[in-house]
Amino acid sequence: MTKGTHTVSFTLNGEKQTFDTRPDEKLLTLLRREGYRGTKYGCGQGTCGACTVLLDGRATYACLLYAMQAEGRSVRTIESVGTFDNPGEFQKELVAAGAVQCGYCIPGMVMSATALMETEKDFEDEIVKEYMDGNLCRCTGYEKIWVALRKVLDRQAAEGNKPAAKKTSSKGAKNEQA
């Protein structure tokens, strides 16, 4: 990397940080360069979701965002969600459901689901799909990702007295109801 011509400051996973950058550098490139490599490059076109991070709580494609657009804002990456000793709820369920095949899309999925869980009160299927639509997976057919996600959402809904989804199309979710 050539020397940065500019700097950018933002809150990264809760910690205020300043990085060298250039105006044409994408946030994804900066993050990976700085060691936040759980955020993946998949398309560079804002279509696959492997690079999803949270920007002020909203799921955002880091491959499209210029690093300098993050100035003064709050960025969260997969590194903030869980550790080996203390994985996030969705991460735990993904592992238990056998939803992680190649795993390349999973960090992005986790970030979109985090945005969903922290933003919405209602976890109806259609709303869930809206949030997860921007994260492509070619390995799983989404079945087990869906099962894992529904499990977490239904549990959260039950705990927070949020309404659980009424109707679902998936086999796994049907089993959930049974």
Nearer to another protein, 35 or 72 (CB): 35
Q: Which of 6, 23, 102, 155 binds another protein (CB under 8 A)?
A: 102
Nearer to another protein, 44 or 69 (CB): 44
Is residue 90 within 8 Å of residue 30, measured between CB atoms?
A: no
Nearer to another protein, 126 or 159 (CB): 126
Contacts of 133 (CB under 8 A, 6+ apart): none
Nearer to another protein, 25 or 55 (CB): 25
Contacts of 39 (CB under 8 A, 6+ apart): 28, 31, 32, 50, 51, 52, 53, 62, 77, 78, 107, 108
Q: Does 101 bind another protein (CB under 8 A)?
A: yes
Task: Kindly state the helix (H) or strand (E) to which residue 98 belongs, with its residue range.
Answer: none
Contacts of 92 (CB under 8 A, 6+ apart): 82
Q: Does 141 bind another protein (CB under 8 A)?
A: yes
Q: Which of 44, 74, 120, 156 binds another protein (CB under 8 A)?
A: 44
Contacts of 147 (CB under 8 A, 6+ apart): 97, 99, 170, 172, 173, 175, 176
User: What's the gap between Cα 25 and its chain centre?
Assistant: 21
Q: Does 129 bind another protein (CB under 8 A)?
A: yes
Q: Does 156 bind another protein (CB under 8 A)?
A: no
Q: Which of 143, 156, 162, 176 binds another protein (CB under 8 A)?
A: 143
33/11 Cα distance (integer angstroms): 17
Q: Does 60 bind another protein (CB under 8 A)?
A: no
Q: Does 91 bind another protein (CB under 8 A)?
A: yes
Which residues sit at the interface with another protein, rule CB under 8 A? 1-2, 24, 32-33, 37-45, 47-48, 50, 77-79, 81-84, 87, 91, 94-107, 110, 129-130, 132-146, 169-171
